[in-house]
Structure 1
Amino acid sequence: MAGEDVRIGVLALQGDVREHLAALAASGAAGVPVRRPEELAAVDGLVVPGGESTTMSKLAVLFGLMEPLRERVRSGLPVYGTCAGMILLAEKILDPRSGQETVGGIDMIVRRNAFGRQNESFEAAVDVRGVGGGPVEGVFIRAPWVESVGAEAEVLAEHGGHVVAVRQGNALATSFHPELTGDHRMHRLFAEMVRSVS
């Protein structure tokens, strides 16, 4: 299927929405913002961007998106979460804020802000299994890491002894922000995942 034939939504409640839309376009996929359940229903895949996971969770509930998100992810919608998006795709958060919910989709436990505060943000080369062409440049901003994964989840990358990229079926998640680097290989990988089920 041609790249423009798949519509990949970017959850547009808060966070790096424009950057993901640009990265998807550079990867040959049509990206569209998603704020309402009817927009979610019209996409072939979904990116859950970085941002503030508690705010995104509360806005998803407020906009009536949380249950539709859970239903579509459970039914096999390809989904890619970066940073806060990784937290939202976890089955469990080790240290959730009050009222924080997750969409789920990956059998993993994540720790919020595990790599430190905003002023401890950093970039690092990350070897990601299944992504050719050498290491991916990862931007870590108040990034989570994965404390543990279930039997169905595949670890794709580690940094500093911590899991930073995971895939389970049609769900992909990274602790880092590939949309901020100009390296679109993670988005191309996700676009191929979407094409393979569309």
Structure 2
Amino acid sequence: MRLVLIGPPGAGKGTQAAILGKRLEVPHISTGDLFREHVERRTALGRDAKRYLDAGELVPDHVTGGMVRERLAEPDAQRGFLLDGFPRTVRQAHTLARILTADNRELDAVLEFTAPEDVVVERLLSRGRSDDTEEVVRHRQRVYRDQTAPLLAHYADIRLTVPAVGPVEEIADRVWSCLPGAA
């Protein structure tokens, strides 16, 4: 199964991706992990990404897309994958479609994790990270909303919405029950 996970920071995408990846026996591919891995290995893409990250800038689409293209070509991603953090924009969604089309593949679904802003803000603040001030966390929520609204419309035909409030196991059951052919 080939899935994209979308949701605001603090919605539990990473937690649910770990559970779902094990259940489906497919890799959870996080762009944050890809950035760290490429930078650590000092690949050409990693060196490019590091320049932007060190300057506090967003890594450009061509660099992120290159990392995703390479990762999706690996053997463990041939049966399927869970993408977390890519695409973030409609432009990146077109890049992903080109990557998949080149291999005669397509997405099965886009899982949208939803939760009230106050809930995700509280989750993030409870982590106790020094950079997670309420102002910063709420700003990240606004950025998510602004960037993601067009992406949700783009994927309307294959988007499945999962309420991401409640116990982790309950949310995992909701995810599983909404997947096409998985229940």
Structure that is richer in helix per residue:
2
- Between structure 1 and structure 2, the one with the greater Rg is 2
- TM normalised by structure 1 equals 0.34
User: Quick check: which one's strand share is greater?
Assistant: 1
Instruction: Return the TM-score normalized by structure 2.
Output: 0.36
